[in-house]
Amino acid sequence: MPSPQHIRKPLQSALIALVVLLAPSVTANAAAVERLSNETTLSRWATPNDRAPVRISPNGESRSFVRLRYLTEDRRPELYLVLSRTEDRDGDEWVQVRLPRRPNGSTGWVRREALGPYQTVTTQLVVDRRRLKATLRRNGRAIWSSRIGVGKRGTPTPGGRFYIREMLKSPFGGTIYGPLAFGTSAYSSLSEWPRGGVIGIHGTNEPGILPGRVSHGCIRVPNNNIRRLARLMPIGTPLQIK
């Protein structure tokens, strides 16, 4: 009877030959994924053309779990940060997008034709919850910074990668939101909060409490600084909260 060692060697050789034989076909069927946004110095976003289904993978047969929408909770035009692109086996183009929804950090795939023309930004806003500081960078260089207020212990500001969806100006600068607010794709732990608990970046009518851990999750900025930020930061800007 042949020894186990004599049987093992031919078997290993056969398996290696099978892998080599199959490798070219696997490579040929695997579509490359091209990154479209690095979320630091060059990012792309687009508004939806229709309420297309968002799928878990770039395949028309994969499960859909939500649809694109035309408007934000504040009835402003919705937009989506585009992360990457690929093609399916039929040559149809798919793009991966960040989604403004719970759970925070959600992404999904839609057909390219579901989105309009790409817009580009070279800015990134970084919020440091430990240092209570926000910094806006353009092409990687800091062009604005401010001390800020973030969420309290029971209602923390969520961490992760998000983006700026809208800018809302207040007709009266004395509101709790100050002169203006940015809506983000992040959501607070308070789902019953007005308009679904969207995390905002806004001014304040209580400047004396900043910096600090003072909010229900939103990011508060001194009014003079939020006005300057509005002149420097376009919508579609990626947001990193760390």
Domain positions in the chain: 34-120, 122-241
pLDDT at 16 over 80: no
Residue 25 has pLDDT above 70, yes or no: no
Peptide bond between residue 4 and the one before it cis (omega within 30 degrees of 0): no
* 143 Cβ neighbours under 8 A, 6+ residues apart: 136, 137, 232
The pLDDT of residue 58 is: 97
Instruction: Please state, rounded to an integer, the average pLDDT across all residues of the chain.
Output: 88
Strand pairing of 149-151 and 212-215? parallel
Higher-confidence residue of 5 and 124: namely: 124
- The H or E element that residue 167 is part of is strand 160-169
Can you tell me the mean pLDDT for 232-236?
Answer: 98
State both tokens at 240: 């990193």
CATH number of the 34-120 domain: 2.30.30
Write out the catalytic residue numbers.
202, 218
Mean pLDDT of the 70-80 span: 96
Domains 34-120 and 122-241 share a fold: no
pLDDT band at residue 175 under the 50/70/90 scheme: confident
Q: Note the CATH number of domain 122-241.
A: 2.40.440.10
What is the model's pLDDT at position 30?
Answer: 53
> Roughly how many angstroms between the first and final C-alpha of the chain, as a whole number?
65
The one-character DSSP state at 15 is H
Q: What is the mean pLDDT of residues 127-138?
A: 98
Cβ–Cβ < 8 Å for 49, 116: yes
